[in-house]
Structure 1
Amino acid sequence: MIETVVFDVGETITRDDRYWAAWADWLEIPRHTLSALVGAVVARGQDNAEALRLARPGIDVAAEYHAREAAGRGERLDESDLYEDVRPALTELRGMGVRVVIAGNQTTIAGDLLRGLSLPADLIATSGEWGVAKPQPAFFERVLEVAQAAPARTLYVGDHPANDVFPAKAAGLRTAHLRRGPWGHLWADTPEVVASADWQVDSLTQLVEVVEDARRSSGS
């Protein structure tokens, strides 16, 4: 039985289009160039911040982030950044009595922006607020604290195998790999992901059936 579903943020709840476009504009390089570099580092299995270092060798990413904020060109989120299936899926899951948590590798500012969207979630938290990030085991310890359910009754949903599926599975959680965004599409059919993910979905609305099936199999 699944009592709590925990969602990753980037390319699970929100599109990353605005994020990378804003960085390209700030660095004054074509958006397509930075997008291609992101794809390259994804294929290499590197952290996506490496795309910024390829675009601007020697860049201090943290310093540039703060400079963008100071210039009024920092992080922004609105309804257009949400995938279309987010509100319907989260609303239906909560209607089934499932606890819904959103927890990903984002800044404290992103956490405030997400909460400002009034999403149908019981809790929204970010790595910036917790002081620990995926794929560190301590992040998933925090996930289990806020899930308020046993690991085997908690489902973590995300697109990134190395940051979501593998470490969540190692922490004892159930896992659903989402075929969405560059990471989700690139690695969806690899043997490691197929073996590690309890479920593979193409849309968040499919999680309703996942929860229903888990309840039937447990006799609840």
Structure 2
Amino acid sequence: MIETIVFDIGETITRGDRYWASWADWIGVPRHTLSALVGAVVARGLDNAEALRLIRPGVDVAAEYRAREAAGRGEHLDESDLYDDVRPALSALRQAGMRVIIAGNQTTRAGQLLRGLALPADLVVTSGEWGVAKPEPEFFARVLDVAQTPADRTLYVGDHPANGIIPAKQAGLKAAHLRRGPWGYLWAHDPEVAAAADWRIDSLTELIDITGR
């Protein structure tokens, strides 16, 4: 029986449209160009920040992030950045007695912004706040610590196989692969993902039936 559900953030809870559009505007390239490059590096199994380095070789991404913040062009999240199924699914799961946690590879600022949206979740936390990121085993150890449930009663939901689904399974959690966003669609039918995921879903609302509450 699943008692806690842990949701990834990017392309699970939030859309990436605004994030990459703002980076394209900052570095001065058409939005489509950066979007296409993100897809290319994803397909090659690289970190998506490599798309920025293809445009500006040697760029210090962290320094550019700070410069954006200082210029008033930093991270922003509002209701339009959430996928449509987020609030209905999370609300239904909590009403069914589930503990709902949102945890992903995001900045400290992103964590603050997400909590400001008052999502129906028991905890919202980011790798920037924890000081450890997926796919490191310590990240999933922290997940289980805050989940307050055994690993086999904790379900991880995300779109990225290498960063989420596979290491979550290695940590003993159940896993649901979400077919959403570049990573979710690209690896939707990958044999390794199919073998690792306990469930494969197209919408977060499917979790209501999966958990059987």
The TM-score bracket by the shorter chain reads over 0.9
CA distance in 2, matches of 1:147, 1:3: 9
Structure 2 counterpart of 1:102: 102
Partner of 1:72: 72
Instruction: State the match for 1:203 in structure 2.
Output: 203
Structure 1 residue runs of 5 or longer lacking an equivalent are 216-220
Q: Which residue of 1 aligns with 2:121?
A: 121
Partners of 1:58 and 1:126 in 2: CA distance: 26
Aligned partner of 1:175 in structure 2 is 175
Query: Which amino acid counterpart does residue 210 of structure 2 have in structure 1?
Result: V
Matched, 1:139 2:146: no
Distance 2:178 2:44 in 1: 20
Q: In the TM superposition, what are the counterparts of 1:25-104 in structure 2 within 5 Å? A: 25-104=25-104
Secondary structure (helix, strand or coil) at the match of 2:37 reads: helix
The residue matched to 1:138 in structure 2 has which SS?
Answer: helix
Residue 55 of structure 1 deviates from its aligned partner by 1.4
Structure 2: unaligned runs, 5 residues or longer: none
| Equivalent residue, structure 2, for 1:184 | 184
Shift of 1:46: 0.3
Letter in 2 for 1:188: A
TM-score by length of 2: 0.99
> Following TM superposition, by how much is the alpha carbon of 1:144 offset from its aligned partner in structure 2, in angstroms?
0.2
- Kindly provide the amino acid, as one letter, of the partner of residue 59 in structure 2: I
**1:45 CA drift (Å):** 0.5
Amino acid across the alignment from 1:94: R
Deviations 1:119-158 (A, max 9, x none): 0000000000000000000000000001010000000000
User: CA offsets, 1:158-191, max 9 Å, x none?
Assistant: 0000011000000000000000000000001010
Runs of 4+ that moved beyond 6 A = none
Distance 2:55 2:113 in 1: 27
* Partner deviation per Cα, 1:87-113 (whole Å, 9 max, x = no partner): 000000000000000000000000000
Tell me by how many angstroms 1:57 deviates: 1.1
Structure 1 residue 58 displacement after superposition: 1.4
TM-score normalised by the chain length of structure 1: 0.96
Q: Which residue of 2 aligns with 1:218?
A: none
Please state whether the residue corresponding to 2:204 is helix, strand or coil: coil
